[in-house]
Structure 1
Amino acid sequence: MNKLSTAQRAQILGMLCEGMSMRAISRLADVSINTVTKLLIDAGLACARFHDENVRGVTTKRVQCDEIWSFCYAKAKNVAKAKAAPERAGDVWTWTALDSDSKMILSYLVGGRDSEYALEFMDDLRGRLANRVQLTTDGHKAYLQAVEEAFGADIDYAMLVKLYGEGPKTEARYSPAECIGFRKDIVTGRPAKADISTSHVERSNLSMRMHMRRYTRLTNAHSKKFENHCHMVAIYTVWYNFVRINKAVKMAPAMAAGVSKTLWTMDNVVALIDAAAPKSGPRGPYKKTAQRREGHA
């Protein structure tokens, strides 16, 4: 089987992280859609493993958390009448925790928006921090119990609750009610009121929506499989943290957080795939002979 070069794979992964659809990449890179899909899966698994093992012991002062909505196969309201909808079809939420100082994505979780996901998300975040932090979330009630169970009293936690007026009187798509103000609720510890904000993580969510085609509204580029959605988020997270220079900190967020000493390229991401690939060995009769010899050694 022919294998794409490092440069070809790096180009395809770069296009995935720059907002291109998989079929557009297939046409421009002159490869089959199955090749793009296989690379997405391999890179997603390798990036998820790398993030889980290496983004730990991060020292920071302020962390902001939020959730961003998308859907898989069909929106939740349309799943019942969808043809051959897979098991995880419907609304999908991506939870993100952002280091407000380095702009690094510390933790992410793809799934539902209930209390079980909130607790799993906060447990994961707790395991990646090296010190007590000031945490800010939106007013989602699931955070309250999750933060308490994960951190106890070892955190300075506040909620930024947005206050909305009446919704639009006429039917208008994507026209939410006007935000008329916000309230800062201190939940645990002594968070500094000036730092109670979710602006940085909300801006990070905008970058996710701009750079991953699966999050673009009113297109057919949305995820058809939940697993592939997770793979793309894993690739994006490594790209955002290690490869992309953040204009606010003028370097990759992983460098600003002290997790990486150098700026990565997509070649480094390809190297993660190669390192995770199973090692090739003897095949056929020779393999059986080698195994017998090792057994008698």
Structure 2
Amino acid sequence: MNKLTPETRSRILHLLCEGQSIRSITRVMGMSKNTVAKLLSDAGAVCAEYQDKALRNLNTRRCQVDEIWSFTYAKQKNVATAKAAPEGAGDTWTWTAIHADSKLVMSWLVGGRDSGYAMAFMDDLSRRLANRVQLTSDGHRAYLEAVEGAFGGDIDYAMLIKIYGASPDSTKGRYSPAECTGIKKNRIEGSPDLAYVSTSFAERQNLTMRMHMRRFTRLTNGFSKKVEAHANAVALHFMYYNFVKIHSSLRMTPAMAAGVTGKLWEISDIVALIEAKEAETPVMRGPYKKRN
């Protein structure tokens, strides 16, 4: 079995992290789709495992959360008539929590948008924080019970509710967002400073995700075909965003700004994690035959 060199792996992962689709990478690199997909699966798994351990005891004062929509295999309205739709097909939401100061994405969850996923997301976020925080979310009602269950009264929590109206610009198309005509800041728990009640950083992170992951691009055939692949791509993206990509305003990576790491990571460091994981699990080649 041929094994990709570390340099080839680094180049493939870099292309994935910069928004290239799997099929475009196969054309550029001259290798099979399965090879690229397997590398993405391996990278996503080790990146999720590493960040699960590294992103702990975070000293955070202000945190913003949001959800971003995408779909797997087919849009939700087409799943019923889709041919051989896999489990998890339909609308796929990614929940994200970002540290407003360091821009570190501390927690994320891929799944639905109901109260069950909200509770799991908030439980995970609460276990990563070392101190009381000010939390801001949008007006999604699932957050109310989830935040209460995860933090109790040990949080300063506010909701930012945006009020939308019809856009007067007749030239905008069906995919253009409605115009925001106003906002309301509602104190939910504790004593949040209303001057810092905002979801701007979380919403800007949504744009970063759409630019750096082809499967989040609207009106494309690069969408995820399986929810597992979607989750792996998200884990790889946040490893790249948190540890490798220098934030323009911080002039360092979010992980460095948050004190999670003291060095600037490279793609080769992610490849090293993959190879270390492979070394732990020996590969069986061919069927095993017992000798008499």
Question: What is the TM-score with the length of structure 2 in the denominator?
Answer: 0.94
The whole-number CA distance in structure 2 between the counterparts of 1:81 and 1:271 is 43
Residues 1:121 and 2:106 are matched in the alignment:
no
Offset at residue 172 of structure 1 (A) = 4.0
Q: Rate the CA distance shift 1:78–1:194 in 2: closer, same or farther, 3 A.
A: same
Q: CA RMSD in A?
A: 2.1
Bigger Rg, structure 1 or 2: 1
The whole-number CA distance in structure 2 between the counterparts of 1:193 and 1:281 is 56
Cα deviation code 1:102-155 (max 9, x no counterpart): 000000000000000000000000011111110000000000010000001111
Give the secondary structure class of the aligned counterpart of 1:79.
Answer: helix
Question: What corresponds to 2:242 in structure 1?
Answer: 241
Question: What corresponds to 1:47 in structure 2?
Answer: 47
Structure 1 segments (4+ residues) deviating >3 Å:
166-172, 278-284
Number of residue pairs aligned between Structure 1 and Structure 2 = 289
Residues 1:270 and 2:271 are matched in the alignment:
yes
The whole-number CA distance in structure 1 between the counterparts of 2:157 and 2:211 is 29
Residues 1:179 and 2:190 are matched in the alignment:
no
Give the secondary structure class of the aligned counterpart of 2:80.
Answer: coil
The whole-number CA distance in structure 1 between the counterparts of 2:206 and 2:284 is 47
Question: What corresponds to 2:20 in structure 1?
Answer: 20
Cα deviation code 1:1-56 (max 9, x no counterpart): 11111111011011001000001111111211111011011111111101111110
Cα deviation code 1:53-98 (max 9, x no counterpart): 1110110110000000000011101111111111111000000000
Residues 1:202 and 2:224 are matched in the alignment:
no
Structure 1 segment 124-139 matched on structure 2, within 5 A: 124-139=124-139
Question: What corresponds to 1:101 in structure 2?
Answer: 101
Task: Could you tell me which runs of 5 or more consecutive residues in structure 1 were left unpaired when the two chains were aligned.
Answer: 290-297
The whole-number CA distance in structure 1 between the counterparts of 2:19 and 2:113 is 25
Q: Rate the CA distance shift 1:221–1:258 in 2: closer, same or farther, 3 A.
A: same
Question: What is the TM-score with the length of structure 1 in the denominator?
Answer: 0.93
Question: What corresponds to 1:295 in structure 2?
Answer: none
Identity over aligned residues, as a percent?
60
Cα deviation code 1:179-207 (max 9, x no counterpart): 10100001011111110000011111100
The whole-number CA distance in structure 2 between the counterparts of 1:281 and 1:164 is 55
Question: What corresponds to 1:38 in structure 2?
Answer: 38
Question: What corresponds to 2:57 in structure 1?
Answer: 57
CA contact (8 A) 1:168 1:177 kept: no
Question: What corresponds to 2:221 in structure 1?
Answer: 220
